[in-house]
Structure 1
Amino acid sequence: MERNFEVGSKRRMGTRKLTTLAMLSAIAVILGFTPLGIIPIPPVGATIMHIPVIIAAVLEGPVIGAIMGLIFGVLSIIRAVTTGNILLVAFLNPLVSVVPRILIGVGAYYAYKLVPGKSESIKVGVAAALGTLINTLGFLGMMFLLYAEPFAKANKIAVDTVGKTILGIGITHGIPEIIVAVIITVGVIMAVKKVRKN
């Protein structure tokens, strides 16, 4: 009897994880292919496409978070190809567009788990902020390390100013992205946890 309960419980958890993954993947696709996923802050748009990755990681663990990150990375490649992004060569490199996005889920989960204290909203807020930071620093950092010259050419700037320009983008986009991610993620996760308790 106890074993049957264990098997049923594991099956329910597996179903819940897959349902959460499917639902958040659908949201990621909507964000990826509509203007909803981008906050227009020139010279490039600030994204909120990483938020489903953070939510998946906090609710369902690092594996589901990493899978959501992979989905986000693949969507960003598809978006770059279909919109004719001027830095397409960079987006096609998984080190730029996929790996940092996979790390969002892993980093957000462990931030949530390792933050001391009992306040769920603080733990979720820290996870959202760190996940966003991983996305911004990972993507822009890899862009700088691997594609400084194409970036300079695309933005019509000198190569020796790429570092400052990317840092500026990181600050102007990173701060609004963190604020929006914390507000949305805390709201969504607290609501889901409340529903799951009932």
Structure 2
Amino acid sequence: MKTQVGVEKKINVRQMAIIGMLSAISIMLSMTPLGFIPIGPVNATIMHIPVIIGSIIEGPMVGGILGLIFGLTSFMRAITTPSPTNFMFMNPIVSILPRVLMGIATYYIYKSVFKLTKNLSVSGLCSGFLGSIINTFGVLGLVYLLYAQRYVEAIGGDTSTAGAVILGIAATNGIPEAIVGALVVSGVVIILKKSKK
């Protein structure tokens, strides 16, 4: 009985340490230019990648907590840093909900793909790609539902084509982010999974 309690505490301590470490990385990326990778005219964000990695390595609960912390960081930045589009992220449905869902869903995507392929690299690529897509399209989908006209007006676009403008932004930013996410997550997951054995 004592051994079981010790193991549970050890696992919880490890998970808390991973949450702390990956949250710190995610927050640092959100507050510095390191969180953005220029790909031609587009800046792909990598702030969501620690959430995906934590979910794959430690499970959906850790992924959900990391997603919550990532979402809260967006929420706090929206409140404290003035920007024409920050009003969207002051709504926790936009800033927090998609990030929590990404953190939970990524684990199940990884497990499902690994069950089919038995391949760490393919599983990492798929979960990194789809996790990034969930983040980008989740946020922008909610922006479209809740703030389409106001958002397009804030970025100086044509409000009569709000849907097309938001879809264009989702594709332009979302695809490069998903490719970067797939490559980074796959590489990191292979190293971490092998080191856990």
Identity %: 46
Any stretches of 5+ residues in structure 1 without a counterpart?
none
| Alpha-carbon distance between aligned partners in 1 of 2:157 and 2:39, rounded to the nearest angstrom | 18
| Alpha-carbon distance between aligned partners in 2 of 1:67 and 1:85, rounded to the nearest angstrom | 27
Q: CA deviation at 1:41?
A: 6.7
Describe the shift of the 1:76–1:21 C-alpha distance in structure 2 as closer, same or farther (beyond 3 A): same
Q: CA deviation at 1:91?
A: 0.9
| Alpha-carbon distance between aligned partners in 2 of 1:121 and 1:85, rounded to the nearest angstrom | 39
Identify the residue that residue 119 of structure 1 maps to in structure 2.
Answer: 119
Using the size of structure 2 for normalisation, the TM-score is: 0.92
Identify the residue that residue 168 of structure 1 maps to in structure 2.
Answer: 168
| Alpha-carbon distance between aligned partners in 2 of 1:40 and 1:85, rounded to the nearest angstrom | 21
Identify the residue that residue 35 of structure 1 maps to in structure 2.
Answer: 33
SS state at 2:23 partner: helix
SS state at 1:113 partner: helix
SS state at 2:117 partner: coil
Describe the shift of the 1:44–1:91 C-alpha distance in structure 2 as closer, same or farther (beyond 3 A): farther
Moved over 4 A (4+): 40-45
The answer to whether the 8 Å contact 1:96/1:142 transfers is yes
The answer to whether the 8 Å contact 2:68/2:100 transfers is yes
Give the counterpart letter for 1:147 in structure 2: Y
| Alpha-carbon distance between aligned partners in 1 of 2:90 and 2:111, rounded to the nearest angstrom | 33
SS state at 1:39 partner: strand
RMSD over aligned Cα atoms = 1.7
| Alpha-carbon distance between aligned partners in 2 of 1:82 and 1:188, rounded to the nearest angstrom | 32
Q: CA deviation at 1:28?
A: 0.8
Give the counterpart letter for 1:15 in structure 2: V
Identify the residue that residue 9 of structure 1 maps to in structure 2.
Answer: 7
Which of 90-99 and 116-125 deviates more? 116-125
The answer to whether the 8 Å contact 2:65/2:100 transfers is yes
Deviation by residue 1:11-68 (Cα, 9 ceiling, x = unmatched): 2111111111111011011101111112357998432111011011001111110110
Identify the residue that residue 144 of structure 2 maps to in structure 1.
Answer: 144
Deviation by residue 1:101-150 (Cα, 9 ceiling, x = unmatched): 10111110110111212101111211111111110111000111100121
Which of 68-77 and 44-53 deviates more? 44-53
2:97 paired with 1:99: yes
Identify the residue that residue 55 of structure 1 maps to in structure 2.
Answer: 53
Identify the residue that residue 71 of structure 1 maps to in structure 2.
Answer: 69
Using the size of structure 1 for normalisation, the TM-score is: 0.92
Any stretches of 5+ residues in structure 2 without a counterpart?
none
Give the counterpart letter for 2:123 in structure 1: K
Identify the residue that residue 86 of structure 1 maps to in structure 2.
Answer: 84
The answer to whether the 8 Å contact 2:75/2:89 transfers is yes
SS state at 1:157 partner: coil
| Alpha-carbon distance between aligned partners in 1 of 2:192 and 2:12, rounded to the nearest angstrom | 17
Give the counterpart letter for 2:168 in structure 1: G
